[in-house]
């Protein structure tokens, strides 16, 4: 329904040229990728396999387009069409050379892939029930399309620091997650004038953030100016150097809300004064007046009625209904898609929307044809027998196909579905429950705005096992959006059982609580925490091996073969915990007048600041003294932060908080310096000052230099490896002291060191660990 930009045809041609140049190696693969990804073509995990992401503004597509998309997919050998959580389609498993023909085919029917990936304006979402819901303020679809048309015609929409996500909700219930997008609009009417409440900066992902309210109300015509100004703001201040910190929310983290709003307002005023933007609302296709189809009769009336209750909704337009067609994980065969498109053509152009739960919602179906649709769905093999919740589990693709994945989220979701189906719970009462699963801390499975969400992590007993962090209780809309809260963790093996326990607890309390988030607030949170506790015991590997396998894998769980991402993802998560504490405490302290409270908040900031970056040095302190000692040793003495902070660090170490309020500025400077270090950290976890220092270190080492390395917590043989790394920095006769754990480490490392010809000068026990002093040979 959107208008293809006039430059697109030429860009598709250029893409084809680049494919050829890439294949004949005339251009660097990176250069090709830099053009390919923003065009919406991704390489899949399997080498040489590509997918094309098709823009579907507001999740809209016509039946004829849908049919043609399926035909194109079939023609070029794709066996899979995938519906995404951003209401688009992906044509998967294509060969590179064919992607060009696919783009051409899409162009011919008014569809584009540009902006499907990369640092671009992504598909703009809208409420799934826009235009047909009784609850909406007005239909947001035309506004979505108008904004899409405006943005996709601008070349600078494809060269942003990172992706730019926009969404439209029809009412305060915010069912299109406006508060969780970079820019979100919620329909409002003020003095008879249509307009929007505007959210900015929201997003899931690592360090998620609920958007800030930018405007309580703006007239509808202003949305182009706002989207333009946000784009310019993002383009100017977004972090282009580190893509992990590039989304708009990081501009807020860096500059603070007030500053960002001030910058926005400057840009917004400039644009409003200098430009006259044409705001043109498109006309939506009208409902087909006559349909020449036979009216169907269901074979099994009972089954039909149950399905109707579960999957059919009355529209605000009398006589018309909306029908939900579920597809597990949004995966559909092109053949099914083609039949569906063909079947729907007689119903008119405005009958299909893709949902954020990766399903298809039909709309504008005349009541008398409900059974016709039902019979057809059975014919093409769509599930019509199960409760909706079994078909609404959202999972990212997980470690089967994603290099960053830790856990097999799709496997877990499949197992949960089976367990739920046989759980005996009243599943139809759980229709609105949103359960989302991500295989790693990135939020591709959107767990942070779920009722119950999971994200993969590595659990450890004496060996690794697949596990999930459990989050719950997100609040969507009604003026008070909130992210799901971390409530515990669970092994992958017990995750389905835990979920069923949580749902049972919710159902037992459903009468008194309207929604899951109500339940969560009214004691559900504590209940879920204790349920997680119930599953906290992980049997030893010898006792029960099940815990050490992930769902859908016949191999013992390991991170081998997975990308480098997940380890560092875990590391950044740990950093984020302290980072968030610092941020929250800093905000809180502005409001506090009570001296004691201020003192303990400041102590919290000092602790979090001291601990935040220890992990980059491989230090995982076991007690609070370890935090401050580690920080003093590795950050203050190492010259990474100023020595002036010793005073407050030592005070907090000694539990002496009373003097902190008078040193508030020093504490805040400490936090700012630590955050500054973090922001300037490079990919190998080095800080700028260290790079400069590395050179002279070796020159200084002309005489005996005592280097010290804490290798506690490092298992064999990595402790020996790290000892050798340290020794390699030294000259002959120099001294190195290493700290080693009792047991295997102390039994092995000194012997190995001696075996290489170095001298062990001292080996002594200190409590539960050992100090070993080595002289390099």
| Contacts with other proteins, residue ranges (CB under 8 A) | 25, 47-48, 564, 567, 618, 684-685, 694, 717-718, 720-722, 724-725, 727-728, 752, 755-757
Comparing CB distances to other proteins, the nearer of 212 and 722 is 722
Q: Are strands 394-395 and 435-438 parallel, antiparallel or unpaired?
A: parallel
- The CB-of-752 to other proteins minimum distance in angstroms stands at 8
Contact at 8 Å (CB) between 473 and 464? no
- The CB-of-560 to other proteins minimum distance in angstroms stands at 11
- The CB-of-566 to other proteins minimum distance in angstroms stands at 12
Query: What CA–CA distances, in Å, run from 446 to 85, 273, 305, 437?
Result: 9, 39, 33, 7
Comparing CB distances to other proteins, the nearer of 25 and 537 is 25
- The CB-of-120 to other proteins minimum distance in angstroms stands at 26
Comparing CB distances to other proteins, the nearer of 79 and 480 is 79
- The CB-of-776 to other proteins minimum distance in angstroms stands at 12
Where are the strands (E) in 170-267, listed by range?
183-190, 193-200, 212-219
- The CB-of-242 to other proteins minimum distance in angstroms stands at 17
Comparing CB distances to other proteins, the nearer of 403 and 637 is 403
- The CB-of-51 to other proteins minimum distance in angstroms stands at 17
Give the Cα separation of 389 and 500 in Å (integer).
12
Contact at 8 Å (CB) between 19 and 99? yes
Residues constituting the chain: 777
Comparing CB distances to other proteins, the nearer of 22 and 311 is 22
Does residue 465 sit in helix, strand or coil?
strand
- The CB-of-757 to other proteins minimum distance in angstroms stands at 8
Comparing CB distances to other proteins, the nearer of 283 and 560 is 560
> Tell me, what DSSP letter sits at residue 429?
G
Burial class (CB in 10 A: 0-12, 13-18, 19+), 16: middle
Comparing CB distances to other proteins, the nearer of 47 and 700 is 47
Q: Which residues contact 154 (CB under 8 A, 6 or more apart)?
A: none
- The CB-of-181 to other proteins minimum distance in angstroms stands at 33
Comparing CB distances to other proteins, the nearer of 650 and 694 is 694
Contact at 8 Å (CB) between 175 and 128? yes
Comparing CB distances to other proteins, the nearer of 645 and 720 is 720
Comparing CB distances to other proteins, the nearer of 620 and 694 is 694
Contact at 8 Å (CB) between 540 and 380? no
- The CB-of-755 to other proteins minimum distance in angstroms stands at 7
Break the chain down into helix, strand, coil percent, rounded to 5. 45, 20, 35
Contact at 8 Å (CB) between 562 and 437? no
Query: What CA–CA distances, in Å, run from 509 to 366, 444, 517, 519, 715?
Result: 38, 31, 12, 7, 47
Helix (H) or strand (E) holding 524: none
Question: Which of 614, 658, 466 minimizes the C-alpha distance to 547?
Answer: 466
């Amino acid at each position: 329904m959107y208008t293809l930009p006039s430059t697109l045809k030429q860009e598709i041609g250029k893409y084809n040229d680049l494919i050829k140049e890439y294949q004949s190696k005339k251009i660097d693969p990176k250069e090709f990728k830099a053009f390919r990804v923003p065009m919406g073509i991704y390489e899949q995990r399997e080498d040489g396999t590509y997918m094309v992401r098709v823009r579907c503004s507001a999740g809209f597509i016509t039946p004829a387009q849908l049919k043609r998309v399926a035909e194109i997919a079939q023609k070029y050998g794709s066996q899979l069409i995938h519906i995404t959580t951003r209401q688009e389609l992906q044509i998967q498993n294509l060969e590179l050379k064919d992607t060009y023909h696919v783009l051409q085919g899409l162009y011919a029917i008014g569809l584009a892939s540009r902006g499907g990936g990369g640092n671009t304006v992504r598909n703009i979402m809208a409420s799934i029930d826009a235009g047909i819901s009784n609850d909406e303020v007005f239909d947001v679809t035309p506004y979505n399309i108008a904004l899409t048309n405006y943005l996709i015609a601008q070349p600078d929409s494809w060269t942003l620091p990172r992706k730019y996500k926009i969404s439209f909700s029809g009412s305060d219930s915010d069912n299109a997650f406006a508060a969780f997008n970079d820019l979100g609009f919620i329909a409002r009417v003020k003095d008879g004038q249509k307009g929007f409440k505007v959210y900015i900066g929201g997003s899931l992902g690592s360090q998620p953030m609920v958007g800030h309210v930018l405007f309580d109300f703006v007239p509808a015509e202003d949305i182009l100016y706002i989207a333009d100004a946000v784009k310019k703001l993002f383009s100017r201040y977004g972090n282009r150097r580190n893509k992990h910190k590039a989304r708009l929310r990081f501009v807020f983290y860096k500059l603070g809300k007030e500053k960002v709003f001030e910058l926005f307002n400057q840009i917004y005023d400039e644009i409003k004064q200098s430009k006259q933007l044409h705001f043109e609302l498109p006309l939506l296709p009208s409902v087909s007046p006559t349909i020449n189809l036979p009216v169907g009769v269901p074979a099994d009336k009972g089954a039909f009625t149950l399905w109707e209750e579960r999957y059919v909704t009355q529209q605000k337009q009398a006589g018309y209904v909306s029908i939900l067609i579920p597809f597990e994980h949004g995966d559909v065969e092109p053949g099914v898609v083609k039949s569906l498109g063909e079947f729907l053509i007689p119903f008119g152009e405005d009958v299909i929307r893709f949902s954020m739960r990766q399903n298809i919602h039909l709309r504008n179906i005349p009541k008398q044809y409900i059974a016709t649709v039902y019979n057809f769905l059975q014919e093409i093999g769509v599930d019509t027998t199960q409760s909706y919740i079994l078909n609404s589990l959202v999972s990212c693709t997980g470690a089967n196909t994603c290099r960053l994945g830790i856990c097999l989220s799709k496997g877990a979701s499949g197992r949960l579905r089976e367990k739920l189906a046989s759980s005996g719970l009243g599943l139809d009462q759980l229709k609105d429950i949103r359960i989302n699963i991500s295989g790693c801390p990135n939020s591709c499975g959107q767990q942070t705005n779920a009722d119950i969400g999971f994200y993969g992590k590595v659990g450890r007993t004496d060996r690794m096992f697949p596990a999930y962090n459990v989050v719950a209780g997100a609040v969507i809309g009604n003026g008070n959006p909130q992210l799901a809260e971390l409530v515990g963790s669970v092994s992958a093996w017990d995750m389905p059982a835990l979920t069923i326990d949580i749902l049972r607890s919710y159902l037992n309390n459903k009468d008194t609580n309207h929604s899951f988030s109500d339940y969560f607030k009214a004691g559900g949170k504590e209940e879920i925490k204790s349920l997680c506790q119930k599953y906290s015991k992980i049997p030893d590997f010898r006792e029960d091996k099940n815990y050490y396998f992930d769902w859908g894998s016949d191999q013992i769980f390991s991170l081998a073969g997975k990308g480098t991402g997940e380890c560092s993802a875990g590391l950044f998560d740990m950093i984020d915990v302290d980072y968030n504490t610092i941020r929250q405490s800093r905000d809180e302290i502005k409001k506090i007048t009570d001296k004691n409270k201020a003192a303990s908040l400041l102590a919290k900031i000092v602790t979090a600041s001291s601990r935040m970056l220890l992990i980059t040095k491989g230090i995982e302190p076991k007690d609070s003294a370890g935090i401050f000692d580690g920080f003093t040793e590795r950050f203050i003495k190492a010259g990474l932060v100023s020595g002036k902070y010793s005073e407050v660090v030592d005070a907090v170490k000694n539990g002496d908080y009373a003097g902190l309020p008078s040193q508030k500025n020093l504490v805040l400077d400490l936090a700012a310096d630590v955050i500054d270090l973090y922001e300037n950290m490079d990919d190998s976890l080095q800080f700028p000052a260290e790079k400069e220092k590395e050179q002279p270190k070796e020159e200084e080492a002309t005489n005996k230099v005592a280097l010290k390395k804490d290798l506690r917590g490092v298992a064999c043989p990595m402790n020996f490896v790290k000892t050798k790394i340290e020794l390699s920095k030294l000259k002959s006769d120099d001294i190195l002291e290493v700290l080693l754990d009792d047991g295997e480490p102390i039994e092995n490392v000194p012997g190995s060191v001696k075996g290489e010809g170095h001298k062990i000068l001292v080996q002594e026990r200190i409590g539960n660990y050992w100090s070993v002093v080595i002289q390099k040979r």
